[in-house]
Structure 1
Amino acid sequence: MSDHLLPLLVAVPLLGAGVVLLLRARPAWVVATTLALLVADVAAGVALVAATRGGDVLAHQVGGWPGGIAIPVVVDAFAALMLTVAGVLTLACTAFAVASGTGRLPLFGPLVLVLLAGVNGALVTGDLFNLFVFVEVMLLPSYGLLVLARRRRGTERSVVGSRLYVAFNLFVSTVFLAGVALVYGTAGTVNLAELAGAAAESSTVAAAAGLCLAALSMKAAVVPVHGWLARTYPTTSPAVTALFSGLHTKVAVYAIYRVYAVVFDGDQRWLWIGLVLFTATMVVGVLGAAGEGRMRAILAFHMVSQIGYILLGVALFTHAGLTAGIFYLLHHMVVKASLFLSAGAVEERYGTDALDDLAGRVRREPVLAAAFGVAALSLAGLPPFSGFVAKLTLILAAVRADQLVVVALALVVSLVTLLSMLKIWGKVFAPTLTGAVGRADDPGGPATADGDGGGGVATLTATSTRRARTALAAPAVALAGVTVVLGLGAQGLLGLTATAADGLLDTSGYVEAVLP
C-alpha cells in the first residue's frame, strides 16, 4: 500500500458517513453501504500488515508540507495490526447490531463510520495534538450511539450511565489537552518524532508527557480511575457495549505504548509506577467482577482486570514483555468482543442479562453456549486458545524481569477469572437436572421482559424457547473461532507482534520515516 493513501483511512469512513446519511431513507442501502465500507477497511488493514511485517514504516505528510510542520500519518507493524483488528471488530459488532435491529436505526451507520474514522486517525497519527483531535472525533459519535441505542427498559439507569460517560470523557479530554499544551510549552513541538527521547532527557518534558499518560490511563480505566467503565458500559445496548469494548479503551492502551516508547524512550526510572498500578488494576477488576450478578457487568469488570495484564507489557518494557503485551492486546480485543456479543445475543432473546433471571432458560442455546465457553476459557488463559499464549508469554516475560510478585498475582487473578466465567456458565448455559420456576420452556412461567430499542424480544413467552437466531449468534461464533485459530497458530501472530515490539524498542525507523 502506498504511503500517499494513508489519509484515506480517515477520509473514506468520513465521506462514507456522509453518503450513508444521505441514504437514510433507504435502510437496506444504508446497511449494505456501511458493511461494504467496513469490509474495505479490514482489507486496507490487512494490506498494511503485509506492507509492514518486515519492519518497514510508512509515513505521509498531509498536504505535502515538510516534516515537523505537516500533520504526519504513520503506520508501522503495531499500528497496522491494531487497524486490522479494530476493523474486524467494528464489522462484527455492526453485523450484530443489524441482526438485533439497532443497526437499522437511521443514524447508526453514519455514527459508526465516524467512530471508525476517529479510531483510525488516533492509531495512525504521529502528533500528540492530532491524537487529541481524533480521540474527540471518536468520542462525539459515541455520545450519539449511547443515546440512540440505549435500552428502553431501565431508562433511568441508561441515562445515568450515559451522563457519567460523557462527563468523565470530557474531563479526561481536558486533562489530556492540558498535557499536550504543557508538552508544547516545554518542548516546543507536539510531533512525536521530534519528541523522541525528550522526556528521558528533560524532567519538565517528562512531567508534561506524564500528564498525557495519566489522561490516557484514565481513558483506559486503570485503577484507581476505573469505576466509570463498569458503571457505563452495561447501561447501553449490547451492540454498542461490544463495539466500545473493542475500540475505546484499546486506543488509549495503544497510545500509552506509543507515547512511552517514543517520548520516554522506555525510561526505566518510571516503570515501577506502571507495575504497581497495572497489577492493582488486575486485582481490583477481578474482585469487582466477583461481586456482580449481571453478565455484562461481570464482563465489564473483567475488562478492567485484563487491561492491567495488557499494560504490564509496557511496564516491563523488554522485548519479551512488549511482544507479549501487544499479543495480549489483540487477543483481548477479539475475546472480549465475542463475550459481550454472546451476552448481548442472550439479552436480545430473553430480555435480561441478570444471572438469576436467566437460570435454566438458555440451556437450549448450544451455539451461543459454545461461543461463550470458548471465549471464556480463552479469557481465563486455558489452552489451546489465544488467551493461554497471551498469559504464558506475559508471565514468562515477567519471570525473566524478576517480577515474581507480579507473576504470582497474575496467576491468582487468572484463577478467579476462571471461577467468574464458570459462574456465568453454571447460571446461564449449563444443563440443569431439575426444573426451574419461570423456565423459558415452561408455558406457565412468567412472561415479562422489555426488549431494548434495537428490536429485541418485547415479551417473554413460551415461544422464546426457540434458539437464538443465526444472525445474532454468528458474530460471537466467528470471533470465538478467531481465538481458536490464534491459539493454534500463535507463532504467526507472535512473529508480527515481535516486529511491532522491535519498533517500540528502537524508534529510529519511526522517527526517520516522519522526519526524513
Structure 2
Amino acid sequence: MSGALLPLFVALPLLVSAVLLIVGDRRVLHAVGLLGTLLLVIAGGVWLVTDFAGSGGAVAHGVAQWPVGISIPFVADMFAALMLTVTGVLTLVCSWFAYASGRAATVYFAPLVLVLTAGVNGALLTVDLFNLFVFVEVMLLPSYGLFVLAARHRGTERQVMGARLYVTLNLLTSTIFLMGVGFIYGTAGTVNMAELAGRAATDGTVAISTAVCLFALAIKAAVVPIHGWLAVAYPATSPAITALFSGLHTKVASYAIYRIYAVVFDGDAHWLWIGVALCCLTMVAGVLGAVGEKTTRSILAFHMISQIGYILLGVALFTLAGLAAGIFYLLHHMIVKASLFLSTGAIEVRYMTGRIGALSGMATREPVITVAFFVAALSLAGLPPFSGFVAKFSLILAAVDTGHVIAVIVMLAVSLITLLSMLKILNGVFWGSARESSLENGGGSGAGGGPAARTAGSGAGTVPEPAPAARDDGAVATASGRRISAVLAGPAVVTACLTLALGLGAEVLMGVSTTAAEGLLDTSTYVKAVMDS
C-alpha cells in the first residue's frame, strides 16, 4: 500500500460521519454507512498485513508533503497493521451487537462510532506525540457521547457515577499526557518519535519527560495502582459499549506504550524491572478484584485489568520472544474479551439482568450462547486448543528465558484463579434449571415486571426495548418464554470462533506477531520511513 493512502484511515470515517449527520434520521443508510466504512478499514488493514508479511518494513506519509517536524505524519508497520485490522473487526462486531440489541436506535450512534474509529486509527498510525494526544481525544469525545446515549436508556445512579468517573479520569490523564508532551518539546525541541529515536536512553531529561507520557498511558490502560476506575466505569454503560470499549481504549494505550518505549527509549533495559513488577501486581490485583463481584460484567472488567498485566509484560521483557508473545496476547485478548462481553451481554439484554445467581438454566435454554461463552472463557483461562493457551505459554517461555521466575509463578496462579472465576459465571448463570420469579408473575416494583420487561420477553426474534438493559436487584429471572435470537447471538459466536481459529492456526498469528516484534526491536526501518516521507 502506498503511504499516501494512510490518511484515509482517518479521513474516510470522519467524512462518512459528517454525511450521516447531514442526511438525518435514516437508520438504514446509517447502518450501511457504518458497516461499509468498517469493512473498508478492515480491508485496508489486511492489505497492510499482507504487504508486511515475512519481510516487515514500513510505509509513511506526511500530509501535504510538509517537512518532518511540521507535517502531520502517518506511518504503518506490521504492528500498526495488525491493530488496525483487529480493532476494525471488533468495532464491526460490536456495532452489529448494538443494532441487534436495540442500542443503535438513535441518529447519533453511527456517527459517534465512526468518529471513534477515526481516532483509534489515527492513534495507531501517528508517529507524533502531540498528534497522539489529539487522536486520543478524538477517541474520547465520541466515547463520552456513547455513554450519554446509554444513560438515556437507563440513567441509573450507578451508570451516572460510572460515566462521571470515566470522563473525569480521562480528562485528568489527558492533561498529564499533554504536560509530558510539553516537557519533551521543551527539552528535545521535537515531539516526533522518529526524531526522538533512542534519545531517552541517553538523555535523562528526555527520559523523565517521556516517562510522564508513559505514566498517563498506563493510567488509561488501567495499570496498578490506578486501575480501579475501569471496573467501575465499564460495567456502567450498555453491554454493546462495554464490549466496544474493551477492545479499543485500553488496547490503544497498550499499543502506544509498546511503541514509545521501543522507539524513544530504544528498549533501555535499566527500567524494565519496574514494568515487570507493575505487570505482576496488575495481574494479581485484577484477578483478586473479580473474586468478590456479583455481576458478569464486573467480573469480566476486573479480569480485563488482570489481562493488561499479561499484555504489557511483553514490553517489560523486551526480547524478541517477549514482544512477540505480548503482541500475540494483545490481539488474542481483544477478541476473547469482546466475545465474553457479547455473550453475557446477549443474556443481559434478553433477560434483563447480569447478576450471578439471578439466572440459571441458560445451558439448556441458550445452548449457542453457552458454547460461545464456554469457548471464550477457556481461552481466557489459557487452556488448549484456544488462542489463550498459545498466548500464555509463549509469554511464560519468554519470562523463563529472561530469568523472571516470579513472573512465571504469578502468571500460572492468576490463570488458575481466572479459570475459577469463569466457572463461577458458568455455575451461576448457565448450569442448573430455570427458576420462576416475579418477572414472570408481573409483580414487584423495580423487578422488571413492567411493560418493558414484557416486551423483552415477547418472542424469540423480538428486539428488546432499550430501557431495562440490566437488573441488579437480585431477582431470579426465569428462562421460560425467552430466547436469544440468532442475530443477537451472532457477534458472540463469531468472536468465539475467531479465538478457536487463532488457537488452531496459532503459527500464522505468531509469525506476523514476530515480524511486528522485530520492528520494535530494530526501529531503524520505521524511523527511516518517517524521515524519508
Same fold by TM (over 0.5)?
Answer: yes
- Choose from 500, 510, 516 the match for 2:526: 510
The whole-number CA distance in structure 2 between the counterparts of 1:431 and 1:90 is: 34
In the other structure, the counterpart of 1:18 is: 18
The yes-or-no answer on 1:454 pairing with 2:466 is: yes
In the other structure, the counterpart of 2:31 is: 31
- Choose from 493, 500, 504 the match for 1:488: 504
In the other structure, the counterpart of 2:337 is: 336
The whole-number CA distance in structure 2 between the counterparts of 1:444 and 1:363 is: 24
The whole-number CA distance in structure 1 between the counterparts of 2:383 and 2:510 is: 18
The amino acid that maps onto 1:465 is G
In the other structure, the counterpart of 1:133 is: 134
What do residues 219-256 of structure 1 show as CA deviations (whole Å, max 9, x unaligned)? 00000000110000001011000000000000000000
Give the alignment of 1:373-412 within 5 angstroms: 373-412=374-413
Deviation at residue 40 of structure 1 after TM alignment: 1.1
The whole-number CA distance in structure 2 between the counterparts of 1:138 and 1:458 is: 26
In the other structure, the counterpart of 2:192 is: 191
1:41–1:455 Cα change, 3 Å: farther
1:462–1:418 Cα change, 3 Å: closer
Give the alignment of 1:57-96 within 5 angstroms: 57-96=58-97
Deviation at residue 465 of structure 1 after TM alignment: 3.1
1:173–1:464 Cα change, 3 Å: farther
SS in 2 for 1:355: coil
The whole-number CA distance in structure 2 between the counterparts of 1:120 and 1:67 is: 20
In the other structure, the counterpart of 1:436 is: 435
Whether the aligned pair in 1 keeps the contact of 2:296 and 2:425 (CA below 8 Å) is yes
Whether the aligned pair in 1 keeps the contact of 2:78 and 2:515 (CA below 8 Å) is yes
Whether the aligned pair in 2 keeps the contact of 1:152 and 1:453 (CA below 8 Å) is no
Deviation at residue 32 of structure 1 after TM alignment: 1.5
- Choose from 501, 507, 514 the match for 1:498: 514
1:463–1:500 Cα change, 3 Å: closer
The whole-number CA distance in structure 2 between the counterparts of 1:422 and 1:154 is: 31
Name the count of aligned residue pairs.
Answer: 513
In the other structure, the counterpart of 1:290 is: 291
1:255–1:461 Cα change, 3 Å: closer
What do residues 303-325 of structure 1 show as CA deviations (whole Å, max 9, x unaligned)? 00000000000000000000000
Give the alignment of 1:72-471 within 5 angstroms: 72-150=73-151, 152-153=153-154, 155-360=156-361, 363-432=364-433, 436-438=435-437, 448=448, 454=466, 465-471=481-487
Whether the aligned pair in 2 keeps the contact of 1:100 and 1:456 (CA below 8 Å) is no
In the other structure, the counterpart of 1:45 is: 45
1:281–1:292 Cα change, 3 Å: same
Deviation at residue 39 of structure 1 after TM alignment: 1.0
The whole-number CA distance in structure 2 between the counterparts of 1:359 and 1:461 is: 8
Whether the aligned pair in 2 keeps the contact of 1:68 and 1:515 (CA below 8 Å) is no
Whether the aligned pair in 1 keeps the contact of 2:291 and 2:299 (CA below 8 Å) is yes
Deviation at residue 438 of structure 1 after TM alignment: 2.5
The whole-number CA distance in structure 2 between the counterparts of 1:38 and 1:102 is: 18
SS in 2 for 1:103: coil
The whole-number CA distance in structure 2 between the counterparts of 1:124 and 1:229 is: 25
The amino acid that maps onto 1:436 is R
Whether the aligned pair in 2 keeps the contact of 1:334 and 1:482 (CA below 8 Å) is yes
What do residues 243-286 of structure 1 show as CA deviations (whole Å, max 9, x unaligned)? 00000000000000000000000000000110111100000000
Whether the aligned pair in 1 keeps the contact of 2:360 and 2:431 (CA below 8 Å) is no
**Range that drifts further, 358-367 or 193-202:** 358-367
Structure 1 gaps, min length 5: none
Whether the aligned pair in 1 keeps the contact of 2:356 and 2:425 (CA below 8 Å) is yes
SS in 2 for 1:311: helix
What do residues 141-172 of structure 1 show as CA deviations (whole Å, max 9, x unaligned)? 00000011237446111111101100000000
The whole-number CA distance in structure 1 between the counterparts of 2:479 and 2:395 is: 47
Whether the aligned pair in 1 keeps the contact of 2:353 and 2:469 (CA below 8 Å) is no
Structure 2 gaps, min length 5: 454-463
Whether the aligned pair in 1 keeps the contact of 2:174 and 2:216 (CA below 8 Å) is yes
The yes-or-no answer on 1:7 pairing with 2:25 is: no
What do residues 84-140 of structure 1 show as CA deviations (whole Å, max 9, x unaligned)? 000000000000000011112110000000000000000000100000000000000
What do residues 290-338 of structure 1 show as CA deviations (whole Å, max 9, x unaligned)? 1101000000000000000000000000000000000000000000001
The amino acid that maps onto 1:150 is A
The whole-number CA distance in structure 2 between the counterparts of 1:458 and 1:139 is: 25
The whole-number CA distance in structure 1 between the counterparts of 2:36 and 2:88 is: 12
Deviation at residue 65 of structure 1 after TM alignment: 1.0
Whether the aligned pair in 1 keeps the contact of 2:359 and 2:478 (CA below 8 Å) is no
Whether the aligned pair in 2 keeps the contact of 1:335 and 1:379 (CA below 8 Å) is yes
Deviation at residue 7 of structure 1 after TM alignment: 0.3
Whether the aligned pair in 2 keeps the contact of 1:115 and 1:141 (CA below 8 Å) is yes
The yes-or-no answer on 1:473 pairing with 2:480 is: no
In the other structure, the counterpart of 2:459 is: none
Deviation at residue 19 of structure 1 after TM alignment: 1.1
Deviation at residue 443 of structure 1 after TM alignment: 6.6
Whether the aligned pair in 2 keeps the contact of 1:350 and 1:464 (CA below 8 Å) is no
The whole-number CA distance in structure 2 between the counterparts of 1:150 and 1:81 is: 33
Deviation at residue 453 of structure 1 after TM alignment: 7.0
Whether the aligned pair in 2 keeps the contact of 1:122 and 1:135 (CA below 8 Å) is yes
The amino acid that maps onto 1:237 is S
1:458–1:184 Cα change, 3 Å: closer
What do residues 160-205 of structure 1 show as CA deviations (whole Å, max 9, x unaligned)? 1101100000000000000000011111100010000000010110
**Range that drifts further, 27-36 or 470-479:** 27-36
The amino acid that maps onto 1:106 is V
Deviation at residue 490 of structure 1 after TM alignment: 0.3
**Range that drifts further, 363-372 or 191-200:** 363-372
The whole-number CA distance in structure 1 between the counterparts of 2:448 and 2:479 is: 13
What's the Cα RMSD here?
1.9
Whether the aligned pair in 1 keeps the contact of 2:45 and 2:81 (CA below 8 Å) is yes
The whole-number CA distance in structure 2 between the counterparts of 1:152 and 1:3 is: 43
The whole-number CA distance in structure 1 between the counterparts of 2:419 and 2:208 is: 39
Whether the aligned pair in 1 keeps the contact of 2:361 and 2:479 (CA below 8 Å) is no
The amino acid that maps onto 2:272 is L
Whether the aligned pair in 2 keeps the contact of 1:151 and 1:158 (CA below 8 Å) is no
The whole-number CA distance in structure 2 between the counterparts of 1:462 and 1:5 is: 53
The amino acid that maps onto 2:437 is G
- The alignment's TM-score, normalised by the length of structure 2, stands at 0.93
